Every structure is written in C-alpha cells, then in structure tokens.
Amino acid sequence: MSQQHPPVPPAEVAAEQRHRPVLVIDYGAQYAQLIARRVREADAYSEVVPSTASVAEILAKDPAAVILSGGPSSVYADGAPQVDPALFDAGVPVLGICYGFQAMASALGGTVAQTGLREYGGTALRARPEGSTLLDGQPAEQDVWMSHGDSVSAAPEGFTVTARSAGADVAAFEDDERRLYGVQWHPEVAHSTHGQRVLENFLRRGAGLAGDWTAGSIIEEQVELVRAQVGTGRVICGLSGGVDSAVAAALVQKAVGDQLTCVFVDHGLLRAGEAEQVERDFVAATGVNLVVWDATEAFLTALAGVTEPEAKRKAIGREFIRAFEAASRQVVERARAADGDDGEVRFLVQGTLYPDVVESGGGQGAATIKSHHNVGGLPDDLQFELVEPLRALFKDEVRAVGAELGLPAEIVGRQPFPGPGLGIRIIGEVTRERLDVLRAADLIAREELSAAGLDGEIWQCPVVLLAEVRSVGVQGDGRTYGHPVVLRPVSSEDAMTADWTRLPYDVLARISTRITNEVAEVNRVVLDVTSKPPGTIEWE
C-alpha cells in the first residue's frame, strides 16, 4: 500500500483540537509516565489512563490521539490485557509501542509469535524512511532500545512494514488511511537515538496536532477555568515557600486578583532564609494579599516526643490545619471589616501536582507510598472547595509556568522541598536545637552547590540529620561524639523515579569540611547513593 501523508489540518481546525488529551494507555509499562512526558515535550497535552478503561471511557475524554504503552505480558497469555478492536474504528489516531504494538497487530488480524529471537537493550534498526509518516527525516540505519521476547511476524492487512531488526521482521508498520501506527522499540527512552522524532512525527504528521500546549496556553486555560469555578467568591491559599504553592497562587492571582488572600504559616521547619523569601520576594512579584501566621511554638509542641515518620507527617498536617484555620478566621474578619459582608471564604488553592496524585494512591492500582502534604493530609470535614490549577502538571512544567508569570528565578528555580519541611529530614525527635543544626548544615550544602554551578544539574539535595545516631570523631585535639548528616543529591525529571547525582569529589569535600568545621554538633558527613526505587527521595 502506498504511503500518503494525511494533510496537516488548517489553523481553524487545529484550534478546535487545542488541549484535547493524547491518552497513554498503560499496559503495565515502566515507561508509561515517560511517554506522557515526551508527548508534553512535543507541546501536546497528555494523560495516562489504565488499560482497563473501556473504549467508551476512552472516547468520552475526546482524545486527540491514543498511544498504547509497552508492558510485561505476552498478548497470547491467559489474562493478558487486550485492545478492543473498536478503538481502531473510532477515527482516533493510534500509536502502539512495544506490547501496545503487538496488541494492536493481534487485534487487527496480524500475527504475534514467540520466535525465539528476543531483543533487549540497544538494537540496530533498518528503517524505510522514504514515504513514512513515523520515520520521516531519519536515517535508514539507527540505534533503538528494544525489550521484547515476542515479535510481530505478519502485519495486519492494510499496513505497510517500515522497519526491521535482526529479531523482528516487522519492527514498525503504518496505515495512514486509518491513521494507525506502531513500533516495536521504545521511542520514549534516550537510548533510541531518534525516538523523540518518531513521537513528534506521530503527533504532528499522523494525528495532525498543532503543538500549541505551552506555558502560555496553560496559563490562559487555567485562568479561564479558575474564573469559571470561583466566580466572585473569595479564595485563600496556603503558601509553603515552595515552587508549587507559589506558582498556583500566582496563577490564581492572575485569574481573580484581590479575591485571593495568601496565608503563610511559618511552622519553623523551613530552611534558612526561606520565610523571608516568601514575605519579601513573592509579595513584591505578585502584589498578593499576604497574612503571615507564626506557629513555630505550636508545631514544636506537637512534635515533642514524636519519632515515627508517618506520625510526624500527620502531626505536622494536623497542626498546619489548626494554624491555617486560625489564620483563615483572621482573613474573614478582615474581609468583614473592609466590605461589610459575611466575609465567607469558599475556595482553597492547592499546589497539587500530578506526581502527588500518583504517590498518594490517586491512580488506579497505585499504592500509597506516603501521605502527601497536598493530597492526603486534608481533614474529612474540609469546608473549602479545592482549586488545583497545577494538578495535571509535572514539576518542570510548573517552573515554566512560573517563569511565564514573571516570578523571580529564586522562587521558580527553588529545589523541591517537602510540605512537612525539615521535620522529616531529622531522623528522631524534632527539637529547636536539632532544627538549628540541620538548618546550618543544609545552608552550607546549598551554598557550595550553587558556588560550583551545580544547581541546574541536580533535582534536589536533601540534607538529613541522624539525630538518634552518634559517631566518634576527632576535632581539634579531642575526641567528639557528634551526629552524622547525610547528603542525598538526586537527579530526576519528575520525582517519580530518581538516581543519585555523581557530584564532583572536590565539591563533596568542601561541603564535608565546612559542615564539620562550622557546625559543632556534626562530626561526620556521609553520601546516600541509593536510586528511587528502591529508596524514596526523602528518608521519612
């Protein structure tokens, strides 16, 4: 069958497709989230949905395109997830990847078999880019990342085979007339040298998407949604000092202006200088109404004697709600005095991100790894209606939106920091003295990483105080019995997975020397070299 590229839709048609989702159907792949991220890097909005979703449920989301992910199953095994052939008759462009490619082939009458020619890891691919939608602009010989034991041995009727490898006679196929495409390899991983081009070709040439999902368009869309949700109501937002709450507040401020009041609960668990940054820099950048509530003593009292990690998180969450409610009453009283009405605040802004939802068990089959400060810590009798303008975004997308909104680089570029703050970076009881020790060590680590120009190379570097552990040391002419601190530098795109960052030895040496010289209570600095999984980014 000759390959005919579908025409790119005219501007008015493309405009109607803006922000319709590209759905990634998850067949148990370790890379489903990564596929969604790669789609967004191509300036198209994406969502991950489970393989149990019916065709009716998929179509109800009005997808601009569908991508079938990889997975660990064999299509012919009992209980293996299958693709309903009705999906391919719905007129929606579909791309199958790895298992999704095989499931598509099987559903459409092709042949999938265990050929004995398994391919794992880097693989040489022989492509036919001439006239191909997916492979256009790519070399005929390229390296891709394979992970399959089964292979498509015969393409379905109407498809043209456009690539082969040593272990797969059918490594890619296309049917432009029905806008159906598939590849055996993983284009979403960096090891596939032209993988992003494959995805972009599918989205642009195969699905006809305009690629206009950008920071600016996200802001426009969310401003409209917030205005529609809030109307003339009053809104409150709890600023934590972090990127997420700052960007969420700035977005809502742009939408409803003085209807928003931000509350900064200073729980005494922030790092050095961060409370001042919220009160000075954020207000200067946005002009937002800000109420500062100093609750340090109340938090320290609530944490006295508490050592178990989840108990700490819950204690901090409970105390935050109490402090926030007290501050909210002050907001209402001010509104009554100023406007003479009941001063009711109906809406609460939260900086919830997509990884927050997943880690808190918000997706089908997702285990609750920890109760999250944004998703899992709210009381059952919450009287506010939630406004969550960032709920579908990854962290790097939030930063891009913040920069577009004009927030200072010091806020937008700030490393991720947990809502419970330093309270979960002290292993053991949280006390004022231990917080002072950890704050001093953390500040040194941040200063040295910044001085070395490494801020952009690491996702974050938690510093953990092992408060219940002491080690023998020698400082000056005497023996010491001090605390160790742990450096946890990690690299990640979205915190769903992470690897420890290979910092230069001279930087590590400077951090260690300064901490043991300048923080009297610490006599040992150690490095955490655990990836996620199996470890989490935070220790508690």
E strand map for 334-470: 345-349, 385-387, 463-465
Q: Which of 119, 148, 174, 186 is catalytic?
A: 186
From residue 385, how far is each of 54, 237, 249, 348, 350 by CA, in Å?
30, 12, 15, 6, 10
Sheet holding 260-266: strands in order across?
Answer: 289-294, 260-266, 234-239, 345-349, 385-387
Can you state the angle between helices 395-404 and 243-256, rounded to 10 degrees?
Answer: 40
For residue 523 the two structure tokens come to 């006599």
Q: Assess whether the previous peptide bond of 533 is cis (omega < 30° from 0).
A: yes
Torsion of CA 292, 253, 417, 263, to 10 degrees: 20
pLDDT band at 439 (very low <50, low <70, confident <90, very high): very high
Q: What is the pLDDT of residues 307-357, one digit of tens each?
A: 999 999 999 989 988 898 888 888 888 777 776 666 688 899 998 887 776
The CA R_g of the chain, rounded to the nearest whole Å, is 26
Predicted confidence (pLDDT) at residue 24 exceeds the cutoff of 90: yes
Phi, psi (degrees; rounded to nearest 5) at 330? -65, -40
pLDDT band at 118 (very low <50, low <70, confident <90, very high): low
Return the higher-pLDDT residue of 362 and 151: 151
Contact partners, residue 472, CB within 8 Å, separation at least 6: 479, 480, 481, 523
Question: Measured between alpha carbons, how far is 105 from 89 in angstroms, rounded to an integer?
Answer: 14
Residue with tokens 């040298």: 193
Mean pLDDT calculated for residue range 203-224:
93
For residue 376 the two structure tokens come to 């899992």
Mean pLDDT calculated for residue range 446-455:
94
Question: Measured between alpha carbons, how far is 349 from 420 in angstroms, rounded to an integer?
Answer: 18
- Among 4-18, 332-346, 371-385, 433-447, the minimum mean pLDDT is found in 4-18
pLDDT band at 419 (very low <50, low <70, confident <90, very high): confident
Question: Measured between alpha carbons, how far is 16 from 91 in angstroms, rounded to an integer?
Answer: 16
Mean pLDDT calculated for residue range 131-143:
90
The yes-or-no answer on residue 237 being catalytic is: no
Q: Please check whether residue 162 is in contact with residue 173, taking contact to mean a CB–CB distance below 8 angstroms.
A: yes
Question: Measured between alpha carbons, how far is 191 from 123 in angstroms, rounded to an integer?
Answer: 10
pLDDT band at 477 (very low <50, low <70, confident <90, very high): low
Q: What is the pLDDT of residue 13?
A: 31
Q: What is the pLDDT of residue 56?
A: 96
Contact partners, residue 372, CB within 8 Å, separation at least 6: 356, 359, 360, 419
Mean pLDDT calculated for residue range 115-132:
78
pLDDT band at 390 (very low <50, low <70, confident <90, very high): very high
Return the higher-pLDDT residue of 123 and 11: 123
In the chain, % of residues over pLDDT 90: 53
Question: Measured between alpha carbons, how far is 150 from 121 in angstroms, rounded to an integer?
Answer: 15
The yes-or-no answer on residue 267 being catalytic is: no
The β-bridge relationship of strands 168-175 and 180-183 is antiparallel
Q: What is the pLDDT of residue 267?
A: 93
Element (H, E) at 403: helix 395-404
SS3 369: coil
Return the higher-pLDDT residue of 436 and 48: 436
Give the best-scoring range by mean pLDDT among 7-11, 28-32, 484-488: 484-488
Predicted confidence (pLDDT) at residue 407 exceeds the cutoff of 60: yes
Q: Which of 119, 174, 188, 521 is catalytic?
A: 188
Q: What is the pLDDT of residue 382?
A: 57
Question: Measured between alpha carbons, how far is 172 from 345 in angstroms, rounded to an integer?
Answer: 56
Closest CA to 198 of 208, 207, 188, 190: 188
The one-character DSSP state at 87 is: G
- Among 113-122, 135-144, 391-400, the minimum mean pLDDT is found in 113-122
Q: Please check whether residue 180 is in contact with residue 90, taking contact to mean a CB–CB distance below 8 angstroms.
A: no
Residue with tokens 């559903």: 107
E strand map for 419-535: 463-465, 471-475, 478-487, 490-491, 499-500, 522-527
Q: What is the mean pLDDT of the chain?
A: 85
Predicted confidence (pLDDT) at residue 369 exceeds the cutoff of 60: no
- Among 55-64, 67-76, 377-386, the minimum mean pLDDT is found in 377-386
Predicted confidence (pLDDT) at residue 16 exceeds the cutoff of 90: no
Predicted confidence (pLDDT) at residue 417 exceeds the cutoff of 50: yes
Q: Please check whether residue 490 is in contact with residue 499, taking contact to mean a CB–CB distance below 8 angstroms.
A: yes
Q: Please check whether residue 104 is in contact with residue 155, taking contact to mean a CB–CB distance below 8 angstroms.
A: no
Q: Is 409 exposed, middle or buried (0-12, 13-18, 19+ CB in 10 A)?
A: exposed
pLDDT band at 73 (very low <50, low <70, confident <90, very high): confident
Closest CA to 483 of 467, 498, 499: 467
Predicted confidence (pLDDT) at residue 137 exceeds the cutoff of 70: yes
HSE-CB of 49 using CA atoms within 13 angstroms = 22
The yes-or-no answer on residue 310 being catalytic is: no
Q: Which of 98, 237, 262, 461 is catalytic?
A: 98
- CA atoms 526, 527, 529, 532: torsion sign: positive
pLDDT band at 67 (very low <50, low <70, confident <90, very high): very high
Q: What is the pLDDT of residue 197?
A: 94
pLDDT band at 222 (very low <50, low <70, confident <90, very high): very high
Mean pLDDT calculated for residue range 106-123:
77
Mean pLDDT calculated for residue range 220-226:
94
SS3 388: coil
